[in-house]
Amino acid sequence: MQKVGIFYGSDSSNTQGICQKVAKELGGDAQLFDIAKASKEEFMGFSNLILATPTYGLGDLQDDWDSFLETLSEEDFAGKVVAFIGVGDQDTYSDTFCNGVSYLYHKAAKAKRIGQTANEGYYFDSTEALVDGKLVGLLLDEDNQSELSDERIAKWVAQIKGEFV
């Protein structure tokens, strides 16, 4: 397996901390990038990507991701293998839980998108991160279900590890 570029946006450090745990689970095969400081060249240098974002406001993409995503086209994802991490609050924002990650998911339509998960154990009302009955990736709620995060991370990393090139 080639190295995995983990690109994250994080204002409160929750998403950053989650990505550090994911990188540790992947072992020496992962490299972390704060999207606020990353270049398009760094991003394009990876065939394997994990894209992580919290959701802000009423379902918005994190600001640094919003700016970076404008520099990418759908074609930039062709030939890449991409997994997704969404972070949100399913209690306070039950009708927009982890919607931010859906922006990344749809932009990467030409990639091989991996890491979809079942939505059992969540209690949101609605999310754009649910496609064809599956969550688009690893969705975590550090505000209400942080005790489940480590187990969910370990299980998800085990799932995606074999799907990277």
DSSP SS3 for 63: helix
Is residue 19 within 8 Å of 149, Cβ to Cβ? no
- Residues 51-70 have pLDDT tens digits of 999 999 889 999 999 999 99
pLDDT in tens, 82-107: 999 999 999 999 999 999 999 999 99
Q: Are 55 and 9 in contact (CB under 8 A)?
A: no
**What is the percentage of the chain residues whose pLDDT exceeds 90?**
93
**Would you say residue 1 has pLDDT above 80?**
no
Q: Could you tell me the domains of the chain?
A: 4-149 (3.40.50.360)
Name beta bridge partners: 141.
none
- Predicted local distance difference test score (pLDDT) of residue 29: 83
Give me the pLDDT at residue 28, please.
Answer: 81
Query: For the chain, where are the E strands, in sequence order?
Result: 4-8, 30-34, 48-56, 60-61, 81-87, 112-114, 130-131, 134-135, 138-140
Q: How many CA atoms lie within 13 A of 2 on its CB side?
A: 13
**Is the CB of residue 97 less than 8 Å from the CB of residue 89?**
yes
Q: Is the pLDDT of residue 41 over 90?
A: yes
